[in-house]
Structure 1
Amino acid sequence: MKSTLIPLVSLFLISFAPSLLAQATQETREPEATTGIVQQQLTRFSTAMVSAAHPLASDAGERVLRAGGSAIDAAIATQLVLGLVEPQSSGIGGGAFILHWQADNQALTTFDGRETAPAAAGPYLFADHGKVMSWREAYVGGKSVGVPGVLKALADAHQRYGQLPWESLFTDAITLAEQGFTVSSRTSKQLAMGWNSGLKQLSPAKEFFYPNGSSLLEGATLKNPAYAALLRNIAKEGVSAFYQGENAEAMVKTVQQAAINPGSLALSDLANYQAIERDALCVAYRVYQVCGMAPPSSGGLAVLQMLGILEHFPLAEMQPNSAQAVHVISQASRLAFADRDLYVTDPAFGHVPLAGLLDPAYLKQRAGLISAQDQMATAGIPLGAEAQATSKAVEFPNTSHFSVVDAKGNAVSMTTSIENVFGSGLMVNGYLLNNQLTDFSLAPRDGELWVANRVEGGKRPRSSMAPMMVFDADNNLRLVIGSPGGSRIINYVALSIIAILDWDLDVQQAINLPRFTHRNDYLALEQGTPLAELKESLTAMGYDVRIQDLNSGLHAIEVQAKQLEGAADPRREGKVSGF
């Protein structure tokens, strides 16, 4: 299969002007040569490991692992601390996708903790008298809040795979919330820049994040007694203390009586919420099996489509940071995004032609569309496709990812989010509520066609979160990886997998690499890195090139024969902890 398309690659590389080939060769850099980013070093431990976006969260997970906890036990402790110390990115007011690997019986499953739309929500939720709201009008306040799912998904996973008592997993988060923690540089900067307009308008978030009218400063000690009190209740009573009773009543009141965009969240929405255990999506790539989430996440599907397309190209012969590699990977991304935007929705509400989209013959045909020049991609027609309209929903990069491997070789890859930075701006009992309903298409129709990813009561919005795992030819776990980054997650994760499997980089070198993304719109190159020097040559190939900050947050663990190798993205404040 590979040999039929390799000549195509040769043809378009030869078609580059000689000067362009020379320039591309000169612009190739070693992985460690990224400038403008402080390079992290590979971390090795022999037994167990957590890689997360904040040191306090990683350390909390490590303590659980040292106490004999499972990967899912550590994931719970890590998430509870992340929601406290990195509230702009994730928390119990949001949702998550979880991949879980059980080593003793080699079983992979996933837990869908994605938020759902309230039962009363309909296709025209974000349409005011026929005029569709802009995303900036829609995300603040109650209308954008979906039913939170992260706690229910974690509780379901713990019931299956937990080793330590539920209550014991809350200790670190409660202690930090009561005694206080140090405000990070990233949190302080995001508050100072005012990235969420709702925070300064909506109480109690306004008073919490802007005490005395000024944003929290880096290095300040912040306590959250309301969060601690709620966690004590959830630790003692289980997740019913979140989805029912006083907390549920407070959440519903906050959403329905929001000063901006009041919403329709009801007590019944919370009481009826269910996380869903789903089969993972897996495809062969080279000699590996790569696995991710099924819809309503588009992330796993799009990454797998990219890899299925790129398998027809000799990536190992291309250099990291070269124009050739950027071009081929970007074109594969364009094709995957075209399919993603048309076909992916909550499978309980619409047909997603998964088998057709991942069919090797279909992906081979898509690979054949890649030429020497950048060109707009249109969705293909896989087997089982149905007519519908394309959805362009806004997704922002304020999410978190962590990876865990425990002492028995069990693993968790979990991406968790409240969507926009600081979510909807609404705060209840010390945690922020998500604005995930803006991940639906705000416009439900395009002419006569319904958009697949439109709002419907009880529906889960499309996501780009892409927690992934990679297995070798003997079905041994090789890699646990994922990233925040809105819809750019797909590109961040795919590039890192390619760097490890095709370019033989270690996991930290892969994550240190400069980032580039293409979402079937324009080519973004990470500013302050050698990739920015490719702008002229890539523009000559027809690309609309923009130099941008590409703030990924990849956290990954590679499983070696005698040790674990962990990596944290230098673009955030993460840390690898273990023993």
Structure 2
Amino acid sequence: MDPEARPSALSLGGMVSSSHPAASFAGAQVLAAGGNAVDATLAMAALTWLVLPGQCGIGGDAFAVVREPDGRVWTIGGSGFGPDGGTTPFYRDQGLSTIPLYGALGVAVPGAPAALAALHTHGASRGLPELWEPAARIAETGLACSAKTAADVCEALTAIRHDPGLAAVYAPDGGAARVGDRITQPDLARTIRQLAHDPTDFYTGEFAERAVTMLSAAGAPFSGAEWAAAEVAEPETAITGSYAGATIHQTPLPTPGWMVLQQAALCDGSLGSQPWLGAGAIDRMARAARLAFADRLALCGSDNTGWRDVLDPNRIARQRQDLADANEDRLAFSVRGGDTTCTVAVDADGRAVSFIHSLGFTFGATLTVPGTGVVLNNRLGRGAYLIPGHPNEVAPRRKPLNTLNAWIATGAREELLALGSIPGGDGQVQWNMQLLSHLFDHGLDPAAAVAAPRFTVFPGSDAEVIDQPAELRVEDRIDEQTRERLRANGHRVVVQAPYGAGGSAQVICRDDHGVLRGAADPRQEGVAIGVD
């Protein structure tokens, strides 16, 4: 069957979707047992640590948008600081022009445990030990290696072999884990149980001591105080914009949620009358994305107000005119694919959660904390610059910019319309804009929206590749006539495989009859499950 032909899942009760069947099943079980959408999200998060270990983990970052049954929307953000001794001179004195992506120097304090603990505190109805014990048990007894994990292991095999913790799990005999191999992680099982009972241990207890000792010995100038500073995450107000009559609720800084809102403002009203995925629509969205990346590089850090200036209505109006006049000069900023995964959940009461978490690149910094099974992220190397005076220059207690973002869309009466997210580095903000257009301009069913041909402006804003030549990457299901028109408009078109753009979108929509419709991206192994 053609992946585009897969129907959406349907439900009058609740629904979940993720990038792996086991994770979706875990969320569906929680809903079926009376748990809410936050409970289901927490259960799916823990399962994805096991079934998508190259994409996410306890040592990464996590963000969520939550819509309550009464229409109230809130967010949780979990990302941490780099080392207190991490300054531009520190790295420059070692002969570095960028912060390394791998090893101890690329690590930021993981924010995922704090985010998940806060999500639980403010929205769950079940205890963390109950929600995470199934994942701990699977880590202890083992699970079969999936095709995605086997591919991730092959991609990172050289680095995996150099880390004893990763090698013991994914290359025990020197060779890469293969599809169907039984993978057991007893150290990670113990960590999951400890974290469920006491999330603070990760930041101020034995785990924190182990992590800081190991990182310091490897040359990263952590003091330990920056770990304690990341212990608590608190709910924040979502940032909002509008598109095609819907209100789009996005994750705030340090995420690039504002970039989706900027693109939505630049494209609103201009795409619905154009042919779906025609050259005119692709050109408009691609140029809007390049403007957003240019603004991010020039103006926006993780702790300043530049994004508010970018979304100023007068500025948006000027940029819309520039796009209409084709004056945008297609500046080049790099997009990297990244490795991330997301989940969506809606319960019978109408509570909805869009959740996303990541290690950065595949297996993050490819570095484990000994005896814990926890792989650390490489977010500092990916998201902080060694550019003096830049709003995103590395600095103590300044979080690196993040690529993760998630969204929920509501209608004029604050009713739930849709929620979703799509991983993939700097592709995320572009592909989420494409999802919004598919859903709200053209009325696509979720299954058609997540499987639709994807295009990506390359490059975007990752620290080590901000000067790469500009490309417009398109999956080859976008026909040759359209590609020729894009070339005539000045784009350097690079053709990808039919489903080769990357990402693994998850979408749930509620239709006019109250029916939930959901789908998982065919580019990975995910599935949406309805619970009535």
TM-score by length of 1: 0.84
The 3 A distance-change label for structure 1 pair 536 and 196 is farther
- TM-superposed CA distance for 1:319, in Å, is 1.7
Give, as a single letter, the amino acid of the residue that structure 1 aligns with 2:120: H
Q: In the alignment, which of 330, 341, 350 is matched to residue 297 of structure 2?
A: 341
Residue 265 of structure 1, CA deviation: 3.0
CA contact (8 A) 1:556 1:568 kept: yes
Distance in 2, Cα, partners of 1:435 & 1:126? 15
After superposition, what is the alpha-carbon deviation per residue over 1:342-396, rounded to whole angstroms, capped at 9, x for unaligned?
222122xxx3234332222321210111257684257xxxxxxxxxxx9x67754
1:197-216 counterparts in 2 under 5 A?
197-216=158-177
The answer for the alignment partner of 1:411 in structure 2 is 352
The one-letter code of the counterpart of 1:320 is: W
Partner Cα separation in structure 2 for residue 205 and residue 355 of structure 1: 42
Task: Note if contact 1:393-1:439 (Cα within 8 Å) is conserved in structure 2.
Answer: no
Q: 1:101, 1:108 within 8 Å by CA — same for their partners in 2?
A: yes
Q: Is the 8 A contact 1:93 1:433 kept in 2?
A: yes
Q: Quote the offset at 1:532 in angstroms.
A: 5.7
Distance 1:39 1:222, change over 3 A: farther
Secondary structure of the 1:338 match is helix
Change (3 A) 1:233 1:565: same
User: For structure 1, which segment, 365-374 or 288-297, has the greater mean C-alpha deviation from structure 2 after superposition?
Assistant: 365-374
The reply to whether residue 571 of structure 1 matches residue 501 of structure 2 is: no
SS at match of 2:426: helix
- 1:439-481 residue CA offsets vs partner (Å, 9 max, x unmatched): 3343223xxxx11111111221112222011111111111111
Question: SS at 1:98's partner residue?
Answer: strand
Deviation at 1:95, TM superposition (A): 0.7
After superposition, give the CA deviation of every residue in 1:29-68 in whole Å (9 maximum; x if it has no partner): xxx9xx8x66532111221111111111111111111222
The answer as to 2:252 corresponding to 1:294 is yes
Match status 1:72 vs 2:23: no
Larger Rg: 1
The yes-or-no answer on 1:118 pairing with 2:83 is: yes
SS in structure 2 of the partner of residue 51 of structure 1: strand
Structure 2 vs 1, CA of residues 107 and 61 (structure 1 numbering), >3 Å: closer, same or farther?
same
Report the Cα offset of residue 243 of structure 1.
2.2
- Over residues 481-508 of structure 1, what are the superposed CA-to-partner deviations in whole Å (9 max), with x where a residue is unaligned? 1111100101110001111000111111
CA distance, structure 2, for counterparts of residue 212 and residue 39 of structure 1: 41
Q: 1:69 & 1:483 partners in 2: Cα distance?
A: 25
The TM-score normalised by the length of structure 2 is 0.92
- Counterpart mapping for 1:74-223 below 5 A: 74-104=40-70, 106-133=71-98, 138-192=100-154, 194-195=155-156, 197-223=158-184
Query: Residue 163 of structure 1 aligns to a residue in which SS?
Result: coil
Determine if the alignment matches structure 1 residue 59 to structure 2 residue 19: no
3-state DSSP of counterpart to 1:474: coil
Distance 1:233 1:339 in 2: 42
Distance verdict in 2 for CA 1:126–1:463, change over 3 Å = same
Gaps of 5+ in 2: 461-468
| Aligned twin of 2:314 | 361
State whether structure 2 residue 503 is matched by structure 1 residue 542: no
1:282 aligns to 2:221 (yes or no): no
Q: Does 1:529 align with 2:477?
A: yes
What is the alpha-carbon distance in structure 2 between the residues aligned to residue 62 and residue 241 of structure 1? 29
1:268 aligns with 2:268: no
Match of 2:207 among 247, 257, 273: 247
- Match for 1:573: what amino acid? E
Greater shift, 543-552 or 78-87, is seen at 543-552
Residue-by-residue CA offset, 1:397-430 (whole Å, 9 max, x unaligned): 2011111111211111111110010100111311
Q: Deviations over 1:536-569 (max 9, x none)?
A: 3321221111123311111111122322111101
Q: Which position in structure 2 is the counterpart of 1:256?
A: 216
| Runs of 4+ deviating beyond 6 Å | none
What letter corresponds to residue 122 of structure 2 in structure 1?
Answer: R
Q: Which amino acid aligns with 2:144?
A: T
Instruction: Kindly indicate whether the alpha-carbon contact (under 8 Å) linking 1:440 and 1:454 is maintained by their aligned counterparts in 2.
Output: no
Deviation at 1:312, TM superposition (A): 4.5
CA 1:459/1:276 → structure 2, altered by over 3 Å: closer, same or farther? Answer: farther
Aligned to 1:426: 367
| Alpha-carbon distance between aligned partners in 2 of 1:265 and 1:533, rounded to the nearest angstrom | 54
CA distance in 1, matches of 2:122, 2:213: 33
Q: Note the alpha carbon deviations across 1:199-243, whole angstroms, 9 max, x for none.
A: 12121212221111100000111111111111122223x202322
Residue 87 of structure 1 deviates from its aligned partner by 0.8
CA–CA separation in structure 1 for the residues paired with 2:279 and 2:202: 50
Query: Secondary structure in 1 aligned to 2:523?
Result: coil
- Displacement, 1:535? 3.0
Name the Cα RMSD after superposition: 2.2
CA contact (8 A) 2:330 2:470 kept: no
Alignment correspondent of 1:9: none
Q: Aligned equivalents of 1:361 and 1:270: distance in 2?
A: 41
Shift of 1:129: 4.1
Determine the C-alpha separation between the residues in 2 that align with 1:334 and 1:158. Answer: 37
Specify whether residues 396 and 516 from structure 1 end up closer, same or farther in structure 2 by C-alpha distance, changes over 3 A only: closer
The separation in 1 between residues aligned to 2:44 and 2:223, in whole angstroms, is 29
> 1:283–1:375: structure 2 CA closer, same or farther, 3 Å change rule?
closer
- 1:251, 1:108 → 2: CA distance? 35
Tell me by how many angstroms 1:190 deviates: 2.3
Equivalent residue, structure 1, for 2:444: 505
Give 2:465's aligned residue: none
